Amino acid sequence: MDSERALKIELRQALDEVLPPAPWLESAVREDLRKRRSSRSGSRAQDKPRMVWPRSAMQFAAALLVVVLAAAALTAVLDLRYRAAHVVPATMDVTAYQAMVSRDLDRLLSAGNGVDCVTLQSTCPASGTPVLNTYMRLADDLNGSEPPARFAVIIAQLRRHVGAAIADLDAVRAAYAAQDQTGLDRANYLLNAQGVSVGTMFRSIVQSREGSNLAYVESLRTANQNLAVCTGCQPLERTGSVDCAAIQTAVCEADIVYATSDVESVEAALVSVGAPSSLEAQDALLQRDLARADSGLLAMANAQLTDDQAGFDAGRQVLQQALSMVEADIAGILGG
């Protein structure tokens, strides 16, 4: 028993990190190291050369490891902060969302149309004009909230149109600064058209209600009458049309604006009178195809600002494909 207790005491003295090592441990370690060195020296001639890192190199490697670990920790912290700051907002209910959109629409109407730099002799407003502030507020509200499912498609389009309106306003100021009256006219025209588009979409959300089968079909039928005789769509659907032989001409700009108005009248009709459950699937398909046509027109209008022929042609191709789908979708709903 005494020998066992003595053995435990010796082990504790050797392994305890708080107390200094036992006196006999140092001599035992020295003796072991001496034997190992003498053993290696006897066989050194037969062994391959071994690279031994100098003390400074080992210190450098240790420091580098510390830096790498610190960088990894910092990256993890930043990633967590980013995720916390970019949490997807909760979906608002229909009533709350309509109230928010109604307030934004009131702000837009009270801000004016933003077309203040009509001529080069006008007093062009500096940054921070009411209309710019209003569009920035609209963008914040639309991007900072998740719409109800019934508004998801049109809100995605609204975000694009608000962004385009801000770009048009920037183009107005750039043209004024460059003393370019032609560019000023074009940017003002497109800016005003975007204001009409945004207003139309906002009103459809504010007025939205669930409709019966009959009410939904009649609303769609009325809107489709405008689309069927769309004077702006027809030349845009014909690739060889002379209207847009030069994309920055007044007639081509007018075609884009008129076509956008007719496409958006159908988009607004679908939102104003919600589809009954029996037509929900067909309505969802039609909304998606209309959004594609709208996006094609928006790409064409944006390309007109910078005279981007390739961007215009790409948008035109999207429009042509989408309009044929829209026609088939509406025929399926209306039954003919």
Question: Residue 152: inside a domain, yes or no?
Answer: yes
Q: Are 64 and 145 found together in one domain?
A: no
pTM of the shown model:
0.69
CB 292 within 8 A of CB 322: yes
Listed residues 87, 106, 134: the one ending a domain: 87
| Beta pairing, strands 209-210 & 273-274 | parallel
What's the whole-number mean pLDDT along residues 6-21?
48
Q: Are 79 and 183 found together in one domain?
A: no
% of the chain beyond a pLDDT of 90: 43
Beta bridge partners of 209: 273
Question: Residue 41: inside a domain, yes or no?
Answer: no
d(CA 215, CA 252): 36
Over the Cα atoms of the chain, what is R_g? Answer: 36
pLDDT, residue 281, reads 95
pLDDT, residue 277, reads 92
Q: Are 159 and 205 found together in one domain?
A: yes
Per-residue pLDDT of 75-115, as tens digits, reads: 554 555 545 444 445 678 899 999 999 999 898 888 765 55
Q: Are 320 and 285 found together in one domain?
A: yes
Q: Are 81 and 123 found together in one domain?
A: no
Average per-residue pLDDT in the chain?
Answer: 78
Q: Are 270 and 320 found together in one domain?
A: yes
pLDDT, residue 45, reads 46
CB environment 188-214: b (16+ within 10 A), e (fewer): bbbbbbbbebbebbbbbbbebeebeee
Reported as a pLDDT band with limits 50, 70 and 90, residue 152 is very high
pLDDT, residue 288, reads 96
Q: Are 74 and 121 found together in one domain?
A: no
d(CA 253, CA 60): 66
Q: Are 215 and 243 found together in one domain?
A: yes
d(CA 247, CA 156): 26
Question: Residue 40: inside a domain, yes or no?
Answer: no
Residues 6+ apart with CB under 8 A from 21: 13, 14
% of the chain beyond a pLDDT of 70: 69
What's the whole-number mean pLDDT along residues 291-320?
94
Handedness of CA 39, 41, 47, 53 (dihedral sign): positive
Task: Count Cα atoms within 13 angstroms, Cβ side, for 181.
Answer: 4
Q: Where are the alpha helices (DSSP H) in the chain?
A: 2-15, 23-43, 55-85, 94-111, 130-143, 152-177, 181-206, 213-228, 233-237, 250-272, 280-306, 309-334
Tokens encoding 156: 């995605």
Q: Are 278 and 213 found together in one domain?
A: yes
Provide the 3-class DSSP secondary structure of residue 24: helix
What's the whole-number mean pLDDT along residues 3-18?
51
Predicted confidence (pLDDT) at residue 217 exceeds the cutoff of 70? yes
pLDDT, residue 296, reads 96
Per-residue pLDDT of 37-46, as tens digits, reads: 565 445 444 4
Per-residue HEC secondary structure of 168-184 comes to HHHHHHHHHHCCCHHHH
Reported as a pLDDT band with limits 50, 70 and 90, residue 156 is very high
Q: Which domain holds residue 249?
A: 94-334
Predicted confidence (pLDDT) at residue 194 exceeds the cutoff of 70? yes
Q: Are 169 and 98 found together in one domain?
A: yes
Predicted confidence (pLDDT) at residue 47 exceeds the cutoff of 50? no
